[in-house]
């Protein structure tokens, strides 16, 4: 199976019942999907998970050397969002726990708020996906200097702009209206974060909605497909993310 690092994959299959978000991938489609992976162990382990119920206890021991399959359909897109939220939440948790030198009270307040929002998004997706959720990801931030204001704010800007573009591009890939509505409630909060972080970097300028991110001719923010976003996110995630089963249209 193809993944972004070309690793040999041992996919974690997210197929199971969703306690909160009914999704359109029924058992027949799931079996088709499982068959396409041509990995017998996947099917067996998923059946086992189904039988064990929604606590997902069977999927323990996920190590950094195991690839994570986001899955397909709406669940795949929600897992993709969950992965991005894990990345953002972990980043801000570390930023707040290890404040860079010279962090002002206002900056600290803003970064704590953003941390809380990203944690809320992460925990929402985890609960909503239930046993279909991908595991907690092993995350690190190579090249990010947590003692440097510049490094932290530039990284925050990158994550927030990427999140906005990812949600904007994923909207049309969702088939359940309720999932689209939820994504809409989150993406505008990410855009608010992006604007405020950009304001901290370049006060009283046009940067909050700068020409580098909002096309000046059309007034449109960016929209990126999972195939463009996942490789950028992969830099910070130790497991290989398998996005190849996500919907593309």
According to CB under 8 A, which one of 120, 138, 144, 232 is a site residue for other proteins?
Answer: 120
CB of 158 to other proteins, least distance (A): 15
Contact between 17 and other proteins by CB under 8 A: the answer reads no
**Distance separating alpha carbons of residues 229 and 154, to the nearest angstrom:** 17
| Piece in contact with other proteins (CB under 8 A), picked from 23-31, 55-63, 170-178, 230-238 | 170-178
Q: Is 214 in the site for other proteins (CB under 8 A)?
A: yes
Spell out the long-range contacts of 91-96 with Cβ–Cβ below 8 A and sequence spacing 24 or more.
91/118, 91/139, 91/141, 91/155, 91/156, 91/159, 91/236, 92/118, 92/119, 92/156, 93/119, 94/141, 94/146, 95/146, 95/152, 95/156
Interface with other proteins, residue 177, by CB under 8 A: yes
- Establish if 220 lies at the interface with other proteins (CB under 8 A): yes
Tell me if residue 87 falls in helix, strand or coil: helix
- Measure the CA–CA gap between 82 and 126, rounded to whole angstroms: 7
Selection from 124, 166, 128 nearest residue 14 by Cα: 128
- Chosen residue from 169, 201, 232, 238 binding other proteins by CB under 8 A: 169
The one segment of 36-44, 93-101, 144-152, 199-207 that binds other proteins by CB under 8 A: 199-207
Q: Is 97 in the site for other proteins (CB under 8 A)?
A: no
Sign of CA dihedral 246, 57, 40, 238: positive
Member of 51, 97, 105, 249 binding other proteins (CB under 8 A)? 249
E-strand spans in the chain?
A: 68-69, 241-242
Query: Which residue of 188, 212, 231, 235 would you call a contact of other proteins, by CB under 8 A?
Result: 188
> Residue 37 or residue 175: which is nearer to other proteins going by CB?
175
Distance CA 168, CA 42 (A): 31
Q: How far is the CB of 156 from other proteins (least distance, A)?
A: 13
- Which residue ranges make up the site for other proteins (CB under 8 A)? 20-21, 110, 113, 116-117, 119-121, 123-124, 127-128, 164, 167-169, 171-172, 177-178, 180-182, 184-196, 199, 204-206, 208-210, 214-223, 248-249
């Amino acid at each position: 199976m193809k993944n972004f690092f070309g690793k040999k994959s041992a996919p974690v299959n997210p197929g199971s019942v969703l306690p909160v978000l009914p999704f359109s991938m029924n058992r027949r489609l799931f079996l088709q999907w499982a068959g396409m992976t041509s990995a017998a162990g996947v099917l067996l382990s998923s059946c086992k998970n189904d039988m064990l119920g929604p606590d997902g206890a069977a999927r323990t021991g996920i190590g950094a050397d195991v690839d994570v399959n986001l899955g397909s359909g709406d669940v795949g897109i929600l897992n993709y969002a969950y992965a991005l939220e894990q990345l953002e939440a972990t980043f801000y948790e570390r930023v707040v726990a290890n404040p860079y030198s010279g962090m002002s009270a206002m900056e600290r307040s803003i970064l704590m708020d953003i941390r809380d929002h990203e944690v809320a998004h992460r925990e929402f997706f985890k609960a909503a996906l239930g046993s279909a959720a991908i595991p907690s990801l092993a995350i690190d931030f190579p090249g990010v200097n947590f003692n440097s204001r510049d490094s932290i704010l530039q990284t925050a800007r990158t994550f927030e702009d990427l999140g906005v573009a990812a949600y904007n591009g994923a909207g049309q890939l969702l088939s359940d209206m309720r999932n689209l509505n939820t994504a809409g409630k989150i993406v505008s909060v990410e855009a608010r974060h992006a604007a405020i972080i950009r304001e901290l970097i370049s006060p009283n300028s046009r940067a909050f909605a700068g020409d580098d991110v909002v096309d000046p001719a059309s007034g449109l923010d960016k929209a990126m497909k999972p195939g463009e976003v996942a490789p950028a996110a992969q830099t910070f995630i130790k497991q290989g993310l398998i996005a190849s089963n996500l919907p593309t249209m």
